[in-house]
Structure 1
Amino acid sequence: SYSRHIYRTEGGRALFKGLGPNLLGVAPSRAIYFFSYAKSKKYFNAVCAPDTWVVHLSSAAVAGFTACTLTNPIWLVKTRLQLDQKKNGSLTMRQCILKIGRTQGIPGFYKGITASYYGISETMIHFVIYEYVKRYLVEYGGSTLAEDRTFSDFFRFMAAGAISKTIASCIAYPHEVARTRLREEGNKYKSFFQTLGTVLREEGRRGLYRGLGTQLVRQIPNTAVMMSTYEATVYVLTKFCGNGYHDDDDYDND
């Protein structure tokens, strides 16, 4: 397997390259995303028909754009560290940041941002499907009010998150390949569509889905837990901090 190849050629520590930026980036990225999503959803619910696919699609687009723009430098550093193939003397996070700044300046930290923007489509698909599956599962066995959730409701949210992320990832995965290639050092890959064309020409259609299995293994449980945690946080804030934190999940309003 590829993991065994990395271990054999670069050592055990190579399996954890990029862990530092990943740990630093996850919390702020998720916080920015869900804050933007909740605020956007509240706004779009006020100006559109509430809790429709248009609201969910628009909210996910705004949240994705905001999170991508603010956190791209973190994920670029993570990718560069993961692609560093030196067995000894590998770059540290500080060295990587300084190298990018010295050779490419501020724009260097935003390589791959266009692929990330195209990747917002995955987030949009994910949230539209998530909201639909969530509503279906709740209406057929759970509570329709955020403040009346039960323990079993959160397992339904996990299932909704897993289903929606699987579908969205399979549909929009090529943007992940393009984004990773654009974040590599060098000038072979210059733009989103040029990168997709190069990969398709050199590696065929399978190249556009290289790593999808690993992505699904990582993302499905991650997303299932994340969505359930988000819903649990909304529940706690709604129940103990008042209606100001309500997530507009009273489906009786439709």
Structure 2
Amino acid sequence: MAAAQAAHWQWENAAAGSVAGFTTVTFSHPLDVVRTRFQVNDGQNPHLPSYKNTRQALFTIARSEGLRGLYGGFYPAVLGSTISWGLYFFFYSKAKQRYLKNRDELTPGLHLASAAEAGGLVCFLTNPIWLVKTRLQLQTPQHLTQPYSGFHDALKTVVKDEGWKALYKGLAPGLILQVSHGAIQFTAYEELRKFLVNSRFEQSVLISNSADLLTTIDYATLGASSKLAAILVTYPFQVIRSRLQQRPGIDGIPRYVDSWHVVKKTAKLEGVRGFYKGITANLLKNLPSASLTFVVYENILNMLTLPRAD
């Protein structure tokens, strides 16, 4: 009976995560496009447009490329985000259930292990989707190569022209990013949440359900705070991954060979600032998104009156 309830709880977490991911990516995608274009612009590629700041980039893309430019790669972004959040919450809750055996509660280390495990699995399963998203977002009128007509055309063309291994470009920094980012974010979220619940519980011992102790504003603040901590630590890996996932030029030669090549070239030409290009757009996109994601996630669980695996 307990096993059946645990499995039910895991699938409900996957559903809650998927809905949350779909909701947030719909509103934040233009900022994702801007972030990606800033990340890959090393000043050495004449076919990539340059922008002064996030606001100017949004207006320039809207004026020269329209909604098609602002929502380039939208389908794989929605697909990837929905699948990623769903799988992440599923694997994360499954890991927590496993670690909870013979324990009353999880330690910070076990929260970290659960998040890291979930992040690694999600990254491996979704890397091809993110590679296609990055390439579609970078398609501009200045590109000389034949543009991809859409998600499926991009997948077929990548495999045809570069081989199936190309679908996993950026996997190494992606794994480090996904595992460390998710681990930092979820550990911070869980520990901050636990602190709030304990402090509120001391003030209101008559409330037995921890969900009743926290408000929507609490969930939004917790989501944004934990996301900020994760972004500041892991952002350079996003830049490395985006640069590796760029489409090769008409000569078929990629701009970067591997992660170490990206690190050396970026450090030499751009310094530390090069590893944080696009972070403003990233913060504008992800802090509100993280708040909304956890508000949706927690409230869906509350509506279903499901217990959390704390």
TM range (shorter): 0.7 to 0.9
Are the counterparts in 2 of residues 9 and 87 from structure 1 also a CA contact under 8 Å?
A: no
Work out which of the residue numbers 54, 65, 68 in structure 1 matches 2:123.
68
Quick one: distance in 2 between partners of 1:32 and 1:191?
Answer: 28
* Amino acid in structure 1 at the alignment position of 2:307: H
Work out which of the residue numbers 166, 169, 185 in structure 1 matches 2:247.
185
For residues 133-187 of structure 1, what are the alpha-carbon distances to aligned partners after superposition, in whole Å with 9 as ceiling and x for unaligned? 1112222236898845238533212211100101110111000100100100232
Instruction: Give the superposition deviation at 1:9.
Output: 4.3
Are the counterparts in 1 of residues 227 and 287 from structure 2 also a CA contact under 8 Å?
A: yes
Is 1:101 equivalent to 2:171 in the alignment? no
Work out which of the residue numbers 20, 25, 50 in structure 1 matches 2:80.
25
Is 1:161 equivalent to 2:223 in the alignment? yes
Name the counterpart of 2:307: 246
For residues 53-86 of structure 1, what are the alpha-carbon distances to aligned partners after superposition, in whole Å with 9 as ceiling and x for unaligned? 1111000011101111111111111100011112
Residue 193 of structure 2 aligns to a residue whose secondary structure is helix
Quick one: distance in 2 between partners of 1:124 and 1:98?
Answer: 33
Name the counterpart of 1:252: none
Are the counterparts in 1 of residues 131 and 169 from structure 2 also a CA contact under 8 Å?
A: yes
Are the counterparts in 1 of residues 267 and 274 from structure 2 also a CA contact under 8 Å?
A: yes
Name the counterpart of 2:7: none
CA RMSD of aligned residues (A): 2.4
Name the counterpart of 1:242: none
TM-score by length of 2: 0.72
Instruction: Give the superposition deviation at 1:198.
Output: 1.4
Higher mean C-alpha deviation, range 215-224 or range 93-102 = 93-102
Name the counterpart of 2:232: 170
Are the counterparts in 2 of residues 10 and 87 from structure 1 also a CA contact under 8 Å?
A: no
Are the counterparts in 2 of residues 146 and 235 from structure 1 also a CA contact under 8 Å?
A: no
In structure 2, stretches of 5+ residues that fail to align are 1-55, 249-253
Name the counterpart of 1:92: 149
Are the counterparts in 2 of residues 138 and 156 from structure 1 also a CA contact under 8 Å?
A: no
Name the counterpart of 1:118: 176
Quick one: distance in 2 between partners of 1:107 and 1:128?
Answer: 33
Higher mean C-alpha deviation, range 98-107 or range 29-38 = 98-107
Work out which of the residue numbers 241, 259, 262 in structure 2 matches 1:195.
262
Name the counterpart of 2:271: 204
TM-score by length of 1: 0.86
Higher mean C-alpha deviation, range 48-57 or range 206-215 = 48-57
Instruction: Give the superposition deviation at 1:229.
Output: 2.1
Name the counterpart of 2:193: 134
Quick one: distance in 2 between partners of 1:208 and 1:55?
Answer: 30
Where relative contact order (Cα < 8 A, 6+ residues apart) is larger, the structure is: 2
Are the counterparts in 1 of residues 200 and 213 from structure 2 also a CA contact under 8 Å?
A: no
Are the counterparts in 2 of residues 22 and 78 from structure 1 also a CA contact under 8 Å?
A: yes
Total equivalences in the alignment: 243
Name the counterpart of 2:24: none
* Amino acid in structure 2 at the alignment position of 1:19: F
Higher mean C-alpha deviation, range 116-125 or range 138-147 = 138-147
Name the counterpart of 1:227: 294
In structure 1, stretches of 5+ residues that fail to align are 240-244, 250-254
For residues 139 and 76 of structure 1, do their structure 2 counterparts lie closer, same or farther at Cα, with a shift above 3 Å needed?
same
What percentage of aligned pairs have identical amino acids? 31
For residues 135 and 190 of structure 1, do their structure 2 counterparts lie closer, same or farther at Cα, with a shift above 3 Å needed?
same
